[in-house]
Structure 1
Amino acid sequence: MTRVDFHTNVADKLGYACRLARKAYLAGQPVVVLAEPSELRAFDERLWTFAPLEFVPHCMADNALAAQTPVVLTSTLEGKLPHHQVLMNLGQTLPANFASFERLLEIVGGDAQELHAGRERYRFYRDRGYPLANHKQDA
């Protein structure tokens, strides 16, 4: 069963997500990052610049090198994805097919709309018996 980790009240979602992606990469855990296309573009840029002396290898899911790349960016979980260890959700909706991943990282910002959407997803997972962990960030 998929383990679900909620990271809530995150002030800088993209910076936080970059650090989590780096942590997973260094631990040898491939990650699929799910977000809306505009947020994916911004996340892609942040991965290039968030740490001047570090690089987190990443590409879009439709890239020919996706299977060999540890961090894969996508706006949909439809179709074939190269990794199923960790899914990082930067969106505000329940990810389709999340149960095909070993672990789901839900990144929730601090504004009221994101917190409400995050609570709805939390209830969904909880009511279906998924193992949950909470990591509340300081505001």
Structure 2
Amino acid sequence: MTQIFFYHNAADRIAAAAALLGKACRQGKAVLVYAPETELAGALDRQLWIAPPTGFIPHVFGTSPLAAETPIVITADATASAQNERLLNLSSDVPPAFSRFTSVIEVVGRDGDDRLSARDRVKFYKDRGYAIQYFDLAEKSA
């Protein structure tokens, strides 16, 4: 069964997602990033170019010919990739076909709308019997 991880209380949701992606990349783990909103996908792309300041987190968009060989793929279509290990969800909705992934990572900011949509996703996962692990990002920055 798919493992669900919620990283909540992110002061900057995009920076938190980039940090998690950087960690996964350093560990040699591939991640498919579901970001159906063009503006959000672009913001994450820019963040991955500048963080960390002396490095680069290898990534491409799902339409790139290099997508099959790049560890981090940002896409608006979570069903189009052969990658099925880790899915990082940046949508306010439950990602389509999430259950084919070994794990789903949700990053939740502090603003009200983000928190409300995250609660809906938590309820969705719980109602279907998925165990959820929570990580408070506010504790990490304190």
**TM-score category (smaller protein):** over 0.9
Is residue 42 from structure 1 mapped to residue 43 from structure 2 by the alignment? Answer: yes
Classify the secondary structure of the residue corresponding to 1:138: helix
Q: Kindly provide the CA deviation profile for residues 62-99 of structure 1, in whole angstroms up to 9, marking residues without a partner as x.
A: 11110100000011224x20311110011211111111
- Amino acid in structure 2 at the alignment position of 1:61: G
Percent of residue pairs bearing the same amino acid type: 35
Distance 2:20 2:82 in 1: 19
Contact (CA 8 Å) 1:66, 1:82: kept in 2 or not?
no
Q: How many residues align?
A: 138
- The normalised TM-score by structure 1 is 0.94
2:120 aligned partner: 120
Contact (CA 8 Å) 2:33, 2:75: kept in 1 or not?
yes
Classify the secondary structure of the residue corresponding to 1:77: coil
Q: Kindly provide the CA deviation profile for residues 49-69 of structure 1, in whole angstroms up to 9, marking residues without a partner as x.
A: 121211111001111110100
Distance 2:94 2:133 in 1: 17
Contact (CA 8 Å) 2:32, 2:78: kept in 1 or not?
no
Distance 1:29 1:127 in 2: 29
- The normalised TM-score by structure 2 is 0.92
Distance 1:11 1:52 in 2: 19
Alignment of 1:46-65 (within 5 A): 46-65=47-66
Q: Kindly provide the CA deviation profile for residues 98-129 of structure 1, in whole angstroms up to 9, marking residues without a partner as x.
A: 11111000111111111111011001111111
CA drift at 1:131? 2.0
Is residue 4 from structure 1 mapped to residue 4 from structure 2 by the alignment? Answer: yes
Distance 1:28 1:127 in 2: 33
Distance 1:82 1:59 in 2: 15
Contact (CA 8 Å) 2:30, 2:85: kept in 1 or not?
yes
* Structure 2 unaligned spans of 5+: none
